[in-house]
Amino acid sequence: MMDLRDIIMLSLCSKKCASLLRTIRNLPNKMDILIGSFRNSVILYEDRDKAENCIQWCFEPYLGRGMDTMWRVNGITFHIVQPILPTDDSSIMTECPWDNDLAVNFIISHFLHVIPRCHVENLHILILRETRKFRIRRALSSVSEVNHLNMEGRAAQKDFKFVFNNLKIKNSLRKDYHEMDSYQSVRSLNCKDRIMSYCSTWAHPDILLNLNCKHSTFLGTQFKAENILEFLKKWKTSEGNEMRNIESLKIEIMEFLESFENVIWIEMDAKACVPRELDRRIKKFPDVDFEYGMDIKRTDGLQATVMLDREEKIFEFYVWHDDEG
């Protein structure tokens, strides 16, 4: 009886073999993709804790270790590498005359197409140095959306714009400290759960007007006080589900005007936090001191608290759903 790995590999051989995958139940339909300076990999799985259901393709120079099977499809040679430890995943190493990015794209596009409900769960881009041959936009050209994106290092400008403007990031985004050339090139994000960006020069102020993520942090932005005020006005006049998913937002502002707090008091019709509500609010966000917060209310009754730190140039925003605040 053929194991799952061999069945998956056979699907690469012909359209007829690929069509057989659609008749097999419980196929792994989650995909993790790692794009790195020294290694690229694609993992197909249903449960990462069950090694027997994980199939991993590694795109790196093959060293000839543990090989027991070779496949050759579309000019790519696949080597089956046996796991060293029982807990290790068996790996499929690749050798090909193409640029590495085309081989990665071949595997990704094939399984997104032939496996029902196959989707990219995690995309991790770790670029410590740029390479002339490998292009992220070529490797990921068949990907339309990912659930979670973790981006570290410095990608080429065209690759960076491709990832942020062509891929729908559904749940979470983590962006590290490195500066990017793509200054304010991203105007909207689809993330619903969490955004953590340590370097946010890529973020255009319009991103705040389209935001509907539960928890967001933008450090190192080029935002000004007027951009924050536009966000508050948009939130205050929103109704229904528009911007309603937001629970917390933290932004490091480029410039902090002395009159900014007074503008919020007046234009947002802000009120001082009610002392009796402090204990309930601290219970949800124990690391936040709400004593000097300013409460504002949407037209539909939803309430939020604005916090300002002049020294650190930090704007914080917390929303109280139902009876939380």
Instruction: Give the tens place of pLDDT for each residue, 114-131.
Output: 888 899 999 999 886 665
Nearest to 42 by CA among 63, 27, 24, 28: 28
Q: Where are the alpha helices (DSSP H) in 65-212?
A: 100-114, 136-139, 157-166, 206-209
β-sheet bridge partners, residue 153:
127
pLDDT value, residue 325: 47
pLDDT value, residue 214: 97
CA distance linking residue 273 with residue 276, whole number of Å? 9
pLDDT higher than threshold 80 for residue 26: no
pTM, whole model, 2 decimals?
0.87
Residue-range domain boundaries for the chain: 1-179, 183-325
Q: What tokens does 222 get?
A: 């080029």
Dihedral sign for Cα 167, 170, 175, 181, please: positive
Which own/partner contact pairs does 273-278 have at CB distance under 8 Å and 24+ positions apart? 273/305, 277/325
Nearest to 213 by CA among 179, 250, 240, 180: 250
Nearest to 123 by CA among 180, 172, 178: 172
Q: Which of 9-13, 132-136, 189-193 has the highest mean predicted lDDT (pLDDT)?
A: 189-193
Angle at 2 between CA 95 and CA 86, to 5 degrees: 70
pLDDT value, residue 88: 57
Residues 151-178: what's their mean pLDDT? 89
Q: What tokens does 296 get?
A: 């504002």
